[in-house]
Amino acid sequence: MPSLSVLPPKCLQKPLLVPHRHMFGPGPSNVPSRILEAGANPVIGHMHPEIFEYMFQTQNNMTLAVSGTGHTAMECAIFNTVESGDSVLTAVNGIWGERAAEMAERIGARVNTIVAPPGGFFTNAEIEQALSKYRPVLFFLAHGESSTGVLHPLDGIGQLCQRYNCLFLVDAVASIGGAPLHMDQQGIDILYTGSQKVLNAPPGTAPISFSERACQKIFSRKSKPVSFFLDLNWLANYWGCDGKPSRVYHHTGPVTAFFSLRESLAVLVEEGLENSWERHQKVAEYFHTGLESMGLKLFVKEKKARLPTVTTIVAPHGYDWKEITSYIMKTHNIEISGGLGPSVGLVLRVGLMGCNSSKANVDMVLGALKDALKHCHKSKV
Ligand code: PMP
C-alpha cells in the first residue's frame, strides 16, 4: 500500500505551457516583457509608497498598495472607513456599485443605493439629493464602470461630499492611466486601482490612497476594522506611512509582484500621464468609429461618458454572444468578453488598455469581429 493516498498529479510533471494570447477583454491585459522581467528579480524587502502618488495625482501621505487584487482594495477602503450601523451610499450603474453595497452590508452598515440603468450615470443633482436624504459616512462611485463601459464624470462630487460630511470613495480599477483623474483637485477621499489593466502588470497588487479626512475618520473609529489583514493601522506601518521608525511584521507582501508594479509605473512615468490619457482617448474614438461603420452600436449613448479603456458594444442582434467570443478566441487568438452582472447578454466588452491601446490592435479587433459576424450563426427572427 502506498504511504501517500494522493499521488503527484501528472500535469505537474510536464513543463508549464502558457499560450500567447491577445488579451483584449476587460482585464487582465497583456504584460510586456520589461514588466514581466522586473518580477523575476530576487525576493527582498520593501518599497517606497510615493511611487503611486503621480498616477493618482495626490499628495496624500497615506498612499500604498494592498497585497491582493482590486477587490482587496475595495474591501480595504470600506472595512476601514465604515463601522457597523453607519450609513453608506453606493451608486449602482453596473456591478461595482452592487458589490460595494454588499461589502458594506456584510459589516453591518445601513446601505442605500442610487440606481441608474446599465450604460447610464448620475447627475450631481441626483447625487446631492441622495446625500441629503441618507446622510452617509461614505459614498461609493466607480469612475470606470467596466461592466457597462461608463466613464463617470467626477467634477463637483467631492465638494458635495465634503458639504455633507461624507467620504468620497472612487473605484478607478478600470480607468487609472486611461482617463483623466485628479484625486486631490477632485476632492476624492479614497481612491484605489488594480495592477492588471492600464498598468499592464500581473494581477495581485492594488494601489490605494486615503485623504487626511479619510484618515481622521479611520483613526478615530470606535471599533477595530473587521479585517486584521486590511487594517490600515497595520498597512500604514508596513508601507512606512505612519512615521514610526520601525516596521513590525504584519504579512509577507508579494514582493516580486510589487517589482512588476513598480516597473509598470516607470513605464507610465516615461510616457507621461497626460499622454497616456490622450492615447487611450484617441484609440477609443478610432475604435468606436470603426464599430459604427460596421453597423455595430455602442452601448453607452453619450459620447463623453464612454470609457476609453473598456468599450461596450450592443450584442449584435440575432447572434449568440458566446459563439462570437469563442469564435474570436479560437480563430484569432483574441480574448474579448461578454457582459457582467446587469450587462450579461446585452453587450460584448473589448478592453484596450495600456500597451494594448493602439490603432493596430483596433484594426485587429475590428477584423476579428467582421469575420465572426460572417461566420457565426445568425437567426432569421
Ligand atoms: N472594479 C472595477 C471597475 C473592475 O473593473 C475590477 C476588475 N474587473 C475590479 C473592481 C475588481 O478587480 P479584481 O478583479 O482585480 O479584484
Do 352 and 287 touch, CB atoms closer than 8 A?
yes
In the chain, count H helices and then E strands.
Answer: 12, 14
Whether 25 lines ligand 1, by a CB cut-off of 6 Å, is no
Summarize pLDDT for 132-169 with one digit per residue, the tens.
999 999 999 999 999 999 999 999 999 999 999 999 99
Which residue's alpha carbon is at the smallest distance from atom 12 of ligand 1?
A: 70
Q: What is the pLDDT of residue 44?
A: 80
Whether 171 lines ligand 1, by a CB cut-off of 6 Å, is yes
Q: What is the C-alpha separation between 364 and 369, in angstroms, rounded?
A: 9
Mean pLDDT over all residues of the chain?
A: 96
Strand 167-171 versus strand 138-142 pairing type: parallel
Whether 70 lines ligand 1, by a CB cut-off of 6 Å, is yes
Whether 174 lines ligand 1, by a CB cut-off of 6 Å, is yes
Of 78, 146, 190, the one to substitute when testing ligand 1's pocket (max ligand atoms within 8 A of C-beta) is 146
Whether 203 lines ligand 1, by a CB cut-off of 6 Å, is yes
Q: What is the pLDDT of residue 48?
A: 78
Q: What is the pLDDT of residue 226?
A: 96
Q: What is the C-alpha separation between 199 and 202, in angstroms, rounded?
A: 9
Q: What is the pLDDT of residue 2?
A: 67
The beta strands (E) that lie in 204-309 are given as 205-210
Q: Of 132, 97, 133, 137, whose CA–CA distance to 113 is shortest?
A: 97
Whether 71 lines ligand 1, by a CB cut-off of 6 Å, is yes
Q: Please report where in the chains the cell 503527484 appears, as a residue.
A: 8
Q: Of 156, 192, 175, 200, whose CA–CA distance to 307 is shortest?
A: 175
Do 148 and 342 touch, CB atoms closer than 8 A?
yes
**Residue 145 CA, closest ligand 1 atom number:** 3
Q: Which residues in the chain land under pLDDT 50?
A: none
Summarize pLDDT for 183-192 with one digit per residue, the tens.
999 999 999 9
Model-level pTM greater than 0.95? Answer: yes
Q: Please report where in the chains the cell 500567447 appears, as a residue.
A: 20
Residues paired with 169 in a beta bridge:
140, 190
Whether 207 lines ligand 1, by a CB cut-off of 6 Å, is no
Task: Provide the 8-state DSSP code for 170.
Answer: E
Whether 173 lines ligand 1, by a CB cut-off of 6 Å, is yes
